[in-house]
Chains A and B, each alone.
Chain A
Amino acid sequence: MLVETTGLADPTPILTETVVRHNYKLDLVVTTVDAMHGLRGEESVKQVAAADRIVLTMLDAVSASNLASVRRMVEALNPSADLIEASFGDIDPVLLLGGGEDRVPEQPFESALHPDVKAHSIYLNEPMSWSAFAVWLTMLLASRGQDVLRVKGLLDVGGSGPVVLNGVQHAIHPPLHLDRWPDDDRRSRLLFITRDIDRGALERSMRAFDSTASVNQGV
């Protein structure tokens, strides 16, 4: 099922709608960005943050330098999304709707092109307790859900493979347990796209919650 929203839609209510969530599996979110006007308004920032794939359009109407500027902004806001350029709707459907990579940029990474919204990557060298992470993330979303635009990545919880996480604000998709890691890098790697939240505070808090699980000898 393909859902096309209006240009000003906030993606979160669609992703969190109960009947949709329990009857359909989200495949991917595709966002188009008009290269001539760039990102304008809160909704466009949320749409880029929620995207797995971003298509830059109106390429013929902008200069190379303006296009590069919009591209840099979009990449800084959501470094994990596939970025495709298309003119007059000319795009390979497989490229648009096919499978892609789940990328979390190498740390240290912190984008700073948008005044309020930033992408942070957090890498952990040791497994984290799933219980501690679940408690932490639900608490974060309850208190700061409007400011946590995206959470995605791979979490090492001590199993043979990682847990795949993907969330847009309060909408956390059912975590997926993989039997093995996709590559030789066995570190947890999480991307957060947030508004007015410091990366250091995120990591310190997450580690503090994980330390409680070591006391509990937790999962």
Chain B
Amino acid sequence: MCSLCSALLTDHWTEASGGRRGGVLRVQTVNRVLSHFDLELRDWAGRVYVLHDRKGRSSVVDDLGSLWREAELLLGRPLDPLDSALVRELSA
């Protein structure tokens, strides 16, 4: 893939609304979900987001699309939003 194509990959459909505040709120929502799996997304130096697990492992995340792939790699299984235990916890 050429460098032009890779630069374009930072444009994600979830950024279409909400602006900067929307981005902050997406991180808050993400961390509520991730806490169910003992994961956390943190801002590093205001430049990138880094996903952490409780074992000290971490990975850089480009956008929401890549977040769940990285979370699955850290967790060793897909994170399913339809999981009834997760839904109960978020609804509480």
Contact residues of A with B, CB < 8 Å? Answer: 18-19, 22, 129-132, 134-136, 138-140, 142-144, 157, 163, 172-175, 177, 197, 201-202, 204-205, 207-209, 211-213, 215-216, 218-219
Question: Does A175 contact B8, Cβ atoms closer than 8 Å?
Answer: no
Q: Give B7 Cβ to nearest chain A Cβ, in Å.
A: 10
CB of B45 within 8 Å of the partner chain? no
A205 to B68 CA separation, bound complex (whole angstroms) = 16
Sample of 7 more A-B contacts, CB < 8 Å, known A18-B8, A130-B17, A163-B17: A19-B5, A136-B81, A142-B78, A172-B13, A202-B82, A208-B88, A219-B22
Question: Does B13 contact A174, Cβ atoms closer than 8 Å?
Answer: yes
Q: Give A15 Cβ to nearest chain B Cβ, in Å.
A: 13
Contact with A along B59-92 (1 / 0, CB 8 A): 0000011011100100000111110101110110
Chain A residue at minimal CB-CB distance from B6: A18
Known: A129-B25, A134-B14, A213-B25. A142 touches B32 (CB 8 A): no
Contact with A along B30-45 (1 / 0, CB 8 A): 1011000000000000
A150 to B33 CA separation, bound complex (whole angstroms) = 24
Task: Report whether over half of chain B's contact residues are helix, strand or loop; otherwise say mixed.
Answer: helix
Known: A139-B33, A208-B87. A131 touches B72 (CB 8 A): no
Q: Which residues of A contact B21 (CB under 8 A)?
A: 219
Q: Which residue of B5, B18, B28, B72 is within 8 Å of A130 (Cβ)?
A: B18
Known: A138-B68, A211-B90. A177 touches B29 (CB 8 A): no
Question: Does B29 contact A208, Cβ atoms closer than 8 Å?
Answer: no
Q: Which residues of A contact B18 (CB under 8 A)?
A: 130-131, 219
Q: Which residue of A142, A177, A204 is within 8 Å of B87 (Cβ)?
A: A204
Question: Does A209 contact B22, Cβ atoms closer than 8 Å?
Answer: no
Known: A157-B17, A211-B90. A140 touches B82 (CB 8 A): yes
Q: Give A197 Cβ to nearest chain B Cβ, in Å.
A: 7
Contact with A along B1-20 (1 / 0, CB 8 A): 10001001101011011100
Q: Which residues of A contact B29 (CB under 8 A)?
A: 129, 131-132, 135, 209, 212-213, 216, 218
Question: Does B1 contact A134, Cβ atoms closer than 8 Å?
Answer: no
Q: Which residues of B contact A163 (CB under 8 A)?
A: 16-17
A218 to B32 CA separation, bound complex (whole angstroms) = 13
Q: Which residues of B contact A172 (CB under 8 A)?
A: 13
Q: Which of A139, A140, A172 has the most CB of B within 10 A?
A: A139
Chain A residue at minimal CB-CB distance from B87: A208
Q: Which residues of A contact B82 (CB under 8 A)?
A: 140, 144, 197, 201-202, 205
- Report the 8 A-B pairs with minimum CB-CB distance, sorted nearest first: A142-B68, A134-B14, A218-B25, A208-B90, A143-B78, A219-B18, A138-B64, A131-B25
